[in-house]
Amino acid sequence: MATYARLTAGALLATLMLWGTTVLAGEITVYTALDADDAKVYVDAFQRANPDIKLDLYRVSAGKLGAKIRAEAQNPRHDVIWGWTISEMERPDIIAMIEPYQPKGHERIGKRFLDPNSNWFATTGYFGALCVNTELLARNNLPKPTSWADLTKPVYKGQLVMPSPLDSGTGYLQVAAWAQTMGEDNAFAYMTQLDRNIAQYTSSGSAPCKLARDKEYAVGITYAFAVVKIIDEFVQAKVNVPIELVIPSEGAGYELEVSALMKASHNKADAKRFLDWLLTDEAVSIMNERAEMNTVMGTSNSNLARQAHMPADVSKVFAPVDLKRAALDKESLTARWKKDILDKRQIR
């Protein structure tokens, strides 16, 4: 399997090349949209447990990963899709590339997280949240937002940052949730109002919280565990924590992170070993600490999640979203978002 030495410098920055230290019998290429720091922890553990496999990992945001997979559709370069949003995986052109596989240990997962056709299985997921810098709120005499509706108030003009649904799974999950819960036209009316307060759209779901952490903006629309990890940064540094996790009262959009075997894989035996490993005790223990939600039965919130006051049962804060519908609607919703929000913003 060729490595990615020919990629552009920008792509190389998004790629983690993880090499074993011994002569390896097999090699697999895995594409993921998981957070880069989290992905490295999992892969390091997998490599220790499976030193005979060399795992080449390509990591990029969910939307950009979809563009890459489609660009390579006639000659797929990867063996496994790991931790990718279901709103991308469930699209018909992607499913056509997948070979059904039921990993060892699949009985540990709740049935709602297993595709009935064995095309994919979900091990983790995430949901939308606000990352609020309480110091900036106080400095600017701003109230703490508690709802999506609050974010359209004029007092927050220039104080909000959000991931773009064109590039980020986090950005799209909330657009899909608004469209389903408000109705599409009402959702776009809402997003037009919201856009007036948005300082910038980012390509990464975690970037808005990092910008709030760095005191560039008061509120970042992000995913909950990005907030959890940044709160822990302050706790570990033993300094005042200026960041607060807020889950809007109307409910948060959410996504499942699913994994699958490629039909075109040149090393299906080792690809299956990786997928099987994702349901081992070792992998589940990492999920317990690094995922804001996981699908393995009998698990509980991590210490980090409890520290950030995340609800014990996160499913209670989810907006009523049909994830398969979100997948089918993605092309039309993102096209309308570009036309009605992004393009109009650029000419204002």
pLDDT top residue among 348 and 180:
180
pLDDT top residue among 70 and 62:
70
CA angle (56, 109, 255) in 5-degree steps? 65
Does residue 10 surpass a pLDDT of 60?
no
Phi and psi at residue 98, in whole multiples of 5°?
-95, 140
pLDDT average, residue stretch 195-218: 96
With beta carbons less than 8 A apart as the criterion, state whether 25 and 53 touch.
yes
Q: What is the pLDDT of residues 240-250, one digit of tens each?
A: 999 999 999 99
What totals of helices (H) and strands (E) does the chain contain, helices first?
15, 12
Does residue 162 surpass a pLDDT of 60?
yes
Grade residue 4 by pLDDT with cuts at 50, 70 and 90. very low
Domain coordinates in residue numbering, the chain: 9-125+255-300, 126-253+310-347
Grade residue 61 by pLDDT with cuts at 50, 70 and 90. confident
Fold of 126-253+310-347: D-Maltodextrin-Binding Protein; domain 2 (3.40.190)
User: What was the pLDDT predicted at 130?
Assistant: 98
User: What was the pLDDT predicted at 137?
Assistant: 98
Cα separation, 253 vs 320, whole angstroms: 8
To which CATH superfamily is domain 9-125+255-300 assigned? Periplasmic binding protein-like II (3.40.190.10)
Cα separation, 167 vs 66, whole angstroms: 9
Q: Give the best-scoring range by mean pLDDT among 8-22, 84-98, 295-309.
A: 84-98
Does residue 17 surpass a pLDDT of 60?
no
User: What was the pLDDT predicted at 153?
Assistant: 98
Q: Is the dihedral of CA 33, 37, 40, 45 positive or negative?
A: negative
Flag the least confident range among 3-7, 178-182, 308-312.
3-7
Does residue 77 surpass a pLDDT of 60?
yes
Flag the least confident range among 9-18, 26-35, 288-297.
9-18
Domain 126-253+310-347 in the same topology as domain 9-125+255-300: yes
**% of residues, the chain, pLDDT over 70:** 92
Cα separation, 346 vs 348, whole angstroms: 6
Q: What is the pLDDT of residues 286-339, one digit of tens each?
A: 998 888 788 888 776 778 888 888 888 888 899 999 988 998 999 999 999 999
Phi and psi at residue 148, in whole multiples of 5°?
-65, -35
Token duo for residue 8: 């552009």
**% of residues, the chain, pLDDT over 90:** 74
Cα separation, 146 vs 126, whole angstroms: 19
User: What was the pLDDT predicted at 70?
Assistant: 96
Q: What is the mean pLDDT of the chain?
A: 90
User: What was the pLDDT predicted at 290?
Assistant: 84
Does residue 8 surpass a pLDDT of 50?
no
Element (H, E) at 253: none
Does residue 44 surpass a pLDDT of 60?
yes
Q: What is the pLDDT of residues 207-242, one digit of tens each?
A: 999 999 999 999 999 999 899 999 999 999 999 999
User: What was the pLDDT predicted at 300?
Assistant: 67
Question: In whole angstroms, how far apart are CA 150 and each of 18, 78, 209, 245, 342?
Answer: 44, 43, 18, 15, 21
Question: In whole angstroms, how far apart are CA 260 and each of 58, 81, 99, 252?
Answer: 15, 5, 8, 26
Relative to beta strand 198-202, strand 293-294 is unpaired
Distance between first and last Cα of the chain: 48
The conformation of residue 144, written as its DSSP 8-state character, comes to P
Does residue 14 surpass a pLDDT of 60?
no
Given the structure tokens 């609050």, which residue do they identify?
150
Question: CB-based contacts of 321: which residues, under 8 Å, 6+ apart?
Answer: 173, 176, 177, 180, 181, 253, 254
What is the model's pTM?
0.78
Cα separation, 227 vs 13, whole angstroms: 24
Question: In whole angstroms, how far apart are CA 168 and each of 1, 164, 221, 252, 325?
Answer: 28, 6, 12, 16, 18
User: What was the pLDDT predicted at 63?
Assistant: 83
User: What was the pLDDT predicted at 348?
Assistant: 58
